[in-house]
Structure formats: C-alpha cells, structure tokens
Amino acid sequence: MGRDVDRAAFSREDRVRYRQKVRRCLDVFALMLDDFGFDADRPMTGLEIELNLVDQSAEPAMRNDEILAAIADPLFQTELGRFNLELNANPRLIEGKGFADYEHDLTASLSRANDRAARSDTRIVLVGILPTLTERHLVADNLSANERYRVLNDQIVGARGEDIELDIRGVERLRTHTDSIAPEAACTSLQFHIQVAPDSFADYWNASQAIAAAQVAVGANSPFLYGRQLWAETRIALFEQATDTRPDELKAQGVRPRVWFGERWITSIFDLFEENVRYFPPLLPICESEDPVEVLHAGGVPELAELRLHNGTVYRWNRPVYDIMDGRPHLRVENRVLPAGPTVVDMLANAAFYFGLVRGLAEADRPIWSQLTFSSAEENFHAAARRGMDAILHWPRLGEVPVTTLVLDVLLPIAAAGLDAFGVVSAERDRLLGIIEQRCRTGRNGAAWQTATVWSAERHRNLDRRAALRHMLQCYAELQRSNEPVHTWPVD
C-alpha cells in the first residue's frame, strides 16, 4: 500500500461509497479480462528490497528521513518504520545477462546509499529481521513520518478493537502484546514481480504458491526477534500476527486473516480480486473521481484506483497486481515470501530460483497443483518457515522428503530449464543456481549462519544473548559488503 493518504478519519458515507466503487471497478476488471489488450509480449521482472538502518553500535537508527534526503535517489523510499528504507530496482528482462545487470545496478545503488548514510554514522543492513530490535524500538512513535502509516495503523488497530497479541513458539517462545502495528516494521522482505498474460496468470500464481515453501526454506534469514531464537523465518509468523485485524472471536468463526496464504488453487486472476472484495472490509475507503465504466467505454485504460488500493491492504504471500505502464495495462504476480539479504548475490540467486522454477512449473504438461493439495502447500509453507533447511515437506510421488533433497533432485533442474526458457545465459544460470545448490549441500542459509554465529559467541566468547546478537550483526554487516554468498561465510 504505497500511496499517500491525507485523511485521518472516514465516515460511514465514505465506506459505503468506497464499497460501491470497488465493486464497480471489479465489474470493469472482469470486462477487461475478457477482451482487453494487456501488455504481455515480453514479460518484465522487478525487485523490491526493504532495508534496515543501524548505528555504529548495531542498534536500529531511527533516521530514514535524514538518510533519504542524503541519498536523494527516487529508487529509495520510506517504509513503515523510521529505521526502514525500500529500494525499487528498475524493471527489466532477465534474458541474456539481465541478472548481471540487476547485480550491477543494485550493488551500485546500495554502495552510494551506504556512502551517504555513513556521513550520518549509519549503515544499511539487508536482513529479514534486524536481530538487535527490542520492544522499545517497535512502538507507534517510531513509525515513519508519512501520514499513510499512521492512518493504516489506526485503521488496523481500530478494526481489531484491542491490543495485538504476538505469540510465536519456536526454538524459544515469544509472547507479548502491542498497541500498534509497529512490530510489522521488523519484517524486511525481498519481493519479486513477474509480468504475465491474463490467460496464464492462474498457472503462475498456483505455481508460486506451490513453491513458496522451498523458497522460504533455502532463503530463510530471520531467526531472532526481541532477543529470542524463534523460527528460521520468523518474519512469516510476525507479519501474520502483527497485522491481524481479528479478535479471538472472529478467528474462531473462521474469518480470513489479512495476511493470507489463501485457501484454494485458482482458475483466473479474477478469483483473487473477487475474494478480496468479498471477504475483506475496506481499511482505507478513499475514492477517486474516475468512473471506470466511462473510461472503458471511451476506449481508455481505467486506473481502477479503489480496487488497487483495496488489493494493497490484503497481504497475500503471492499478491495479484494490476498496473499501468506507458499507457498499457499489465498483470503481475508479486512474490512476497522471502526476507532481504544476506547479500546482493544471495538475493539474485533467490530470484533466479524463483523465476526459473515458477516458469518451469507454470508451463509443465501436468500442473503441480493438480497433484498437490492446497492444504499441503500451506502446511509446507509454515513447516519451511519454522525449520528452514531442516524442513520436511510433502511432495507428489515423493511423500515426505527433506527440503534439501527436493531442491537438489527435483526443483533445481526445473529452475534451470525455466531460466533457459527465459533466455538467461548459461553462465549466469549456473552461477546463481549453484549458490542455491551449495546452500543445500552445506546446510547453510542466512538463518543457519546467524544462529551458528550467536551460538559460538555465547559459548566461546562468553557473551550474553544481547551482546552475542550485536556481535553477530556487526560481523554480518561486514561480510555483507563482500557480496560473497552466505554459505561461504565463516562462523566466528
């Protein structure tokens, strides 16, 4: 939900008008899917990376306004917390040396940003959850200054009507309450976008859901929150709980959560937008002046602003996107399951694995979703978030299988074929997928490195947990600058 909001309160009339407008947009969207020309000739990809700011003591630095002004680059934007930034890479094709171009541009942008941040004794860290965050950091006063975050906080907390409970049981247990959505700011993610044609959208979304578990298992990088070791990818549980608008009674009634894996395979992108309208009340009932019916009948491209805004407040792990670029509408799958980091090359390895695997499965003769139940895909997803590289997943014809075996024997060959279909040069394909392979062979992703380093600091350096986390993060930040993949990092 990236748009600015200039209102702090909404009337009953606002909500009624918005609901009517959203449904009108949905009707127009259905008509467009039937016979409108969507841009899908050469599918573009995109990356978004959420970043953390830390001071010289590896503590969160609440200075994003100051750092953004110093960076002065439109590719960088605010995020929910004052210690967060977001970097949006320019969309591009991945054929040829597209991944190398991504790497060059991302490395250059982050280097420039770090140089500007260093002038304020601040550095940028790419990690799923900043390990040195405490409850005193994640409070409403540390939300970014942009009014849209305050309004969103008020609407989510108001819809719930009571404090938000966080209860995450992992290696250790965290149980606490919060009166704001500020803990969501701890969840810093890596998001992939892939442009698809309307008639193939369902295949790509279903494939994305089926492989989400494998992505999370090999890419987990968020084992610590508030000083406790929880899940390998704690970000999944934290995000699901920190934005939950449902009190216990509505959970018991089966009301859907706004952070949602979903509940079924789909046959059209329309299924997802229609579910959003049917199941979720509006959080930000803001209407624009456009009449989408009139625009469509006049031969124009409707913005569908209300439908897009509503879609932005339903946090699916694989989100459908309708957007317009250069006057042409297009559709995208926004893959939101992964954490940021550890390095640029690690993130591009994750990207190559996702883009190649999703294409390979989406275009397979026998769809994986015809063999895997949706409930199994969801169970796999949460098992992978809990245990990372040690997860056991269910997969058709294999039954219960270690995720590393599944990736090495089944998924990496599919991903390689998918990258070939995109036209990725073989050297880039092999370099990036080789990183995924080595993570599986060594058993080391970001989460495994973090936990091993904290364990070593506690036992060999006699540091308490907080000091061990600070030591680990300082090592992490230095190794990150090398851009060497995390499976090669030494454990100090």
Neighbour tally for 259: CB within 10 Å: 22
pLDDT at 492: 81
Is residue 94 domain-resident?
A: yes
Provide the residue range defining the domain that includes 371.
12-487
> Residue 246 corresponds to which tokens in the numbers above?
């449902």
Which CATH number do you get for residue 202? 3.30.590.20
Phi/psi at 119 (nearest 5 deg)?
-65, -20
Is residue 370 domain-resident?
A: yes
pLDDT band at 209 (very low <50, low <70, confident <90, very high): very high
Whether residue 342 is preceded by a cis peptide bond, meaning omega within 30 degrees of 0, is: yes
* 397-408 confidence digits (pLDDT tens): 999 999 999 999
Is residue 1 domain-resident?
A: no
* 410-421 confidence digits (pLDDT tens): 999 999 999 999
Instruction: Tell the burial category of 202 from Cβ atoms under 10 Å away from its Cβ (0-12, 13-18, 19+).
Output: buried
Percent of the residues in the chain that have a pLDDT greater than 90, as a whole number: 88
The maximal CA–CA distance of the chain, rounded, in angstroms, is: 72
Q: Residue range 297-323: average pLDDT?
A: 96
> Residue 221 corresponds to which tokens in the numbers above?
């990088």
* 14-32 confidence digits (pLDDT tens): 899 999 999 999 999 999 9
* 51-102 confidence digits (pLDDT tens): 999 999 999 999 999 999 999 999 999 999 999 999 999 999 999 999 999 9
- Domain tally, the chain: 1
Q: Phi/psi class of residue 390: alpha, beta or left (left: φ > 0; alpha: ψ in -120 to 50)? A: alpha
Is residue 2 domain-resident?
A: no
Per DSSP, the residues of 107-174 read HHHHHHHHHHHHTTT-EEE--SS-TT--TTTSSGGGB-SSHHHHHHHHHHHHHH-SPEEEEEESSSEE
Instruction: Tell the burial category of 174 from Cβ atoms under 10 Å away from its Cβ (0-12, 13-18, 19+).
Output: buried
* 223-247 confidence digits (pLDDT tens): 999 999 999 999 999 999 999 989 8
Letter string b/e over residues 64-75, b meaning 16 or more CB atoms within 10 A of that residue's CB = bebbbebbeeee
Q: Phi/psi class of residue 42: alpha, beta or left (left: φ > 0; alpha: ψ in -120 to 50)? A: beta
Is residue 492 domain-resident?
A: no
Is residue 228 domain-resident?
A: yes
- Which residue, among 231, 159, 271, 279, has the nearest Cα to 446 in the 3D structure? 231
Q: Residue range 121-126: average pLDDT?
A: 97
In angstroms, the CA 135 to CA 369 distance is: 41
